[in-house]
């Protein structure tokens, strides 16, 4: 239990270290990568297709998140 609380506390402290742009780009890359891997895996029915879809989705997600950030 103590280890879990320590990990949660460290995560909260680390969350304040990145700026809004970095958070947004990282979030976009994660969402895009996951979605791309899912779609690639379903469409190609191979692990290679899932990896390719994930990579393409991560790049696209990061670019889109950066381009659409407010202000």
Task: Express each pLDDT in 6-65 by its tens digit.
Answer: 877 777 666 656 577 788 888 889 889 999 999 999 999 999 999 999 999 999 999 998
- The rounded distance, in Å, linking the Cα atoms of 64 and 41 is 22
Q: Please identify which residue in the block is written with the tokens 């202000």.
A: 71
- The rounded distance, in Å, linking the Cα atoms of 42 and 22 is 30
**pLDDT number for residue 13:** 65
**pLDDT number for residue 3:** 75
Q: Read off the tokens for 42.
A: 């379903």
**pLDDT number for residue 69:** 79
Q: Please identify which residue in the block is written with the tokens 């889109």.
A: 64
């Amino acid at each position: 239990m103590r280890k879990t609380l320590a990990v949660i506390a460290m995560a909260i402290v680390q969350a304040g270290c990145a700026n809004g742009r970095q958070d947004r780009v990282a979030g976009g890359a994660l969402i895009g990568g996951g979605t791309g891997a899912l779609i690639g895996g379903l469409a190609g029915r191979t692990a290679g297709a899932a990896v390719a879809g994930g990579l393409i989705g991560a790049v696209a997600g990061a670019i889109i998140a950066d381009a659409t950030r407010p202000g």
